[in-house]
Amino acid sequence: MCVCVCVCVCVPEREREREREGSRRRRQRARHTGTPAQQTDMDAPKRIKPGALYAAYRLLTRRNSVYVSFIIVGALVGEKVLDSATNKLWLYNNQGKMYEDISVLGMKATGEE
């Protein structure tokens, strides 16, 4: 009776160990060999080196405080640039029509009161 219990308990445990070992080996093999399409250098996709834009992205998004500061400063600078450009465009399109350009009308002459 003792032998029967030992065999029933030990055999499934050994099978589970073999399964775990096999799955571990398969994962390691897959990690080292890669997919069949990537095994040769000719078939492997070419990696593009990250450029300056990617480096700036990594620099700005590494910390939340830097990212939020960049957004706030960008909004303030963008607002000033947009305001200045809009104002210059408005003045250019309305030359001679502005209040400052109109000759003095309805004002009392100098010396009269």
Q: How far apart are CA 22 and CA 33, in angstroms?
A: 16
Query: Residue 98 has what pLDDT?
Result: 81
- Amino acid (one-letter) located at 12: P
66-74, Cβ contacts within 8 angstroms, sequence gap of 24 or more: none
Query: Residue 108 has what pLDDT?
Result: 58
Q: Extract the tokens encoding 25.
A: 């080996």
* pLDDT tens-place string over residues 70-92: 999 999 999 999 999 999 999 99
The torsion angles phi and psi of 47, rounded to 5 degrees, stand at: -90, 130
- Amino acid (one-letter) located at 27: R
**0.75 exceeded by the pTM?**
no
- Amino acid (one-letter) located at 82: L
